[in-house]
């Protein structure tokens, strides 16, 4: 994988994790989810540069990055009660962290 793409993906995953951690505060829930959702078109465009990495992201995140479903699932997440939201966000953060490890490991 190209070094520049790797660095971009790591930065993007770090940003997503940071935003989702901030979203655990109810006052930040919708804003942080919007920030993450807003960068998905750029993420999908960049993943077209590396089919292997695109497959990793698709398998790990499924509907969260799928063009036909991502807006709906992120909107639904943003509107969940805080206790349910935090549990789901923790699961997403775990997946994003695992993806970051994959991006770092793939050469």
Encode pLDDT of 65-90 as tens digits. Answer: 988 889 999 999 999 999 999 999 99
| CB half-sphere exposure, 12, CA atoms < 13 A | 21
The phi, psi pair for 73, rounded to 5°, reads -70, -35
3-state SS, residue 68: coil
Q: Is residue 92 over pLDDT 70?
A: yes
Give me 19's structure tokens. 């935003």
Q: Is residue 30 over pLDDT 70?
A: yes
- What pLDDT, on the 0 to 100 scale, is given for residue 107? 74
Q: Is residue 29 over pLDDT 80?
A: yes
Task: Report the chain's mean pLDDT, rounded to a whole number.
Answer: 93
- What pLDDT, on the 0 to 100 scale, is given for residue 68? 86
Please tell me the pTM assigned to this model: 0.91
């Amino acid at each position: 994988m190209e070094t520049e793409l790797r660095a971009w993906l790591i930065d993007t995953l770090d940003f997503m994790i940071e935003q989702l951690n901030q979203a655990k505060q109810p006052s930040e829930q919708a804003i942080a989810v919007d920030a993450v959702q807003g960068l998905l078109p750029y993420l999908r465009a960049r993943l077209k540069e590396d089919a292997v990495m695109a497959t990793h992201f698709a398998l790990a995140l499924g509907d969260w990055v799928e063009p036909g479903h991502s807006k709906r699932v992120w909107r639904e997440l943003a509107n969940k009660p805080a206790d349910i939201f935090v549990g789901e966000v923790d699961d997403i953060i775990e997946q994003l962290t695992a993806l970051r490890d994959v991006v770092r490991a793939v050469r």
